[in-house]
Structure 1
Amino acid sequence: MAQVELNTIQLGNNGHPLIMLHGWGQNLQSLQPMGELLATRSNIHIIDLPGFGKSPPPPADWDTTQYADRIYQYLEAKGIESADMLGHSFGGRVSIRLAHQYPHKVRSITLINSGGLQRQRTTQQALRSQWVRTMRNAFKVSPMYRDELLTWHSQKYGSRDYLNAGAMRGTMVKTVSEDLTELAKQIPAPVLLLWGEADTETPVEMGHRYHSLFPNSELITIPHRDHFMFQAEGSHLCAYYVENFLTRFSSPVLAS
């Protein structure tokens, strides 16, 4: 796999390494306030994932397998034998994939409003989604005005993230379509699930499903918090729960 340079910041000098991965369309700065709060007890590494922030895009359309491989390379280069992972949304997808591919590298996982599961849809929503896909497939083979029809379709039905993805659009299509259900069932590491109950992008029902899938998980839902529950004063709230979770894995200090 081609090596992609990663823009990172490192906070704190003590404690177990904590790798923090941001969501789609975000960058490491979105997690920095929470990272600064957690740096008193953990060795924080916040990473701009390839294609975001100051990290260049991948050389091809990646799925989460390639992203996990790149984070593994980072851990190896830094001499990190095992790390705690924290991922928001898309960063959660990558954290799950990493823990599945390299379980010896992951001591624990914190997922904040993570992606990786297919949204539950009503029959009407499922039929509409199928109709939209069928229309796009028909436009792809249209003998006339193919490009114009596909552009109209994207503008009409594409999500905000899809429309803003630019060169990362192919990667977005690959990663969004992944379903990590079977991977979650096989991850032995303890998992903390933090979910905003007002999240409309990765609804709280996904948090409950993940809780039923991971063999060793804890779910904490926060009322009135949305997909970016860790922003502003929410950084203190999330840091509180993450620190309490990570404290369980700290080696006790022996009395002299």
Structure 2
Amino acid sequence: MLKEPPTRTPERFEIEAAGHLGHVFVSKSPASHAPGRTAVVLIHGIGASHRYLSRLHGLLAASVDTYSIDLPGFGATPRPENTLPVADHAAYILGALEQLGVLEFVLVGHSMGSQFAVEAALQQPGRISHLVLMGPVVDPLRRTVAQQATALGRDSLFFESPSSNALVFTDYLRCGPSWFLKTLRVMMGYRTDQRITGVTAPVLVLRGANDPVASADWCRRLTASAARGQLLEVEGTGHVVQHNRSVEVAGAILDFAGIQPAARETPQGRPA
């Protein structure tokens, strides 16, 4: 298993792409110059930021160049004048990475970030070698805001750690209700299950085994819709699987993408 590395602060870049301003957090790996190395790019979900990806980012950065993006309107980035469709967020991801010289990469999206990741893989399929969808949304059998809110409430009450809840809800406050609700409408209208059928890259659908937002049935159906899909469940956690089980998730991403971890150690527990 991977060992939790010493904390290193990623370098932040403020990048304008596709007509919008966002932030990209970059960690260059000591192993990144090895032949065949690629980059891994992490995308947050609705209302969130790179902060709840930071544990996963740090683990991956020991083995591969790692990029976490705060999309326009989220985290500390300026809010666009108009609500952005999923396609515009995908265009920002691709444009910002191109400016940084990252032309081929593994793309990892969490929750609504999985929608941005799918759309990016459709816009420029030659650049994305592998696609990882963590806790993907939205199940077409549960397409109401009330159903999604109920599932998220159950998750935060019963299946999240205090630290994951603190990260998510402080980011929600920073996002603000107006921008959150506008983006929520975009999220609810995007048919991930239909769009994924056009993705040519291998797809890993990854969920916490207790996740009420991305249910087991929905993730199985989504995996079956992908041309080259596989499903992985991580025991003992809910929707924010990448924070609460970061070691297992990092290992799964590296294994799926065929990237050799920089080090393997005896599993280490991490307190919430």
Q: Shorter-chain TM-score: what band?
A: 0.7 to 0.9
Structure 2: distance between partners of 1:224 and 1:34: 17
Which position in structure 2 is the counterpart of 1:191? 203
Which position in structure 1 is the counterpart of 2:256? 245
Which position in structure 1 is the counterpart of 2:190? 178
Of 1-10 and 204-213, more deviation after overlay is shown by 1-10
**Residue-pair matches, total:** 214
Does the aligned pair in 1 maintain the 2:132–2:253 contact within 8 Å?
Answer: yes
Q: Percent identity?
A: 21
| Unpaired segments ≥5 residues, structure 2 | 1-16, 148-171, 262-272
Q: CA offset at residue 182 of structure 1? A: 2.4
Q: CA offset at residue 204 of structure 1? A: 2.0
Deviations 1:103-160 (A, max 9, x none): 1121111111111442348xxx9xx98xxxxxxxxxxxxxxxxxxxxxxxxxxxxxxx
Does the aligned pair in 1 maintain the 2:63–2:260 contact within 8 Å?
Answer: no
SS in structure 1 opposite 2:20? coil
| Unpaired segments ≥5 residues, structure 1 | 130-160, 251-256
Does the aligned pair in 2 maintain the 1:51–1:168 contact within 8 Å?
Answer: no
Structure 1: distance between partners of 2:107 and 2:80: 22
Does the aligned pair in 1 maintain the 2:46–2:183 contact within 8 Å?
Answer: no
Larger radius of gyration: 1
Matched, 1:12 2:24: no
Q: CA offset at residue 2 of structure 1? A: 5.6
Does the aligned pair in 2 maintain the 1:2–1:59 contact within 8 Å?
Answer: no
Counterpart residue identity of residue 97, structure 2: L
TM-score (norm 1): 0.76
Which position in structure 1 is the counterpart of 2:224? 212
Does the aligned pair in 2 maintain the 1:61–1:168 contact within 8 Å?
Answer: no
Structure 2: distance between partners of 1:229 and 1:171: 22
RMSD: 2.7
SS in structure 2 opposite 1:31? helix
Of 208-217 and 239-248, more deviation after overlay is shown by 239-248
Which position in structure 2 is the counterpart of 1:133? none
Which position in structure 1 is the counterpart of 2:113? 91
2:49 corresponds to which of 27, 34, 37: 27
Structure 2: distance between partners of 1:71 and 1:98: 7
Which position in structure 2 is the counterpart of 1:166? 178
Does the aligned pair in 2 maintain the 1:57–1:168 contact within 8 Å?
Answer: no
Structure 1: distance between partners of 2:260 and 2:236: 30
Counterpart residue identity of residue 87, structure 1: G
Distance 1:230 1:73, change over 3 A: same
Q: Larger relative CO (CA 8 A, sep 6+): 1 or 2?
A: 2
Counterpart residue identity of residue 169, structure 1: L
Q: CA offset at residue 96 of structure 1? A: 0.3
Which position in structure 2 is the counterpart of 1:150? none
Which position in structure 2 is the counterpart of 1:143? none
2:90 corresponds to which of 61, 68, 74: 68
Structure 1: distance between partners of 2:240 and 2:234: 12
SS in structure 2 opposite 1:24? coil
Structure 1: distance between partners of 2:241 and 2:255: 18
Structure 1: distance between partners of 2:98 and 2:61: 21
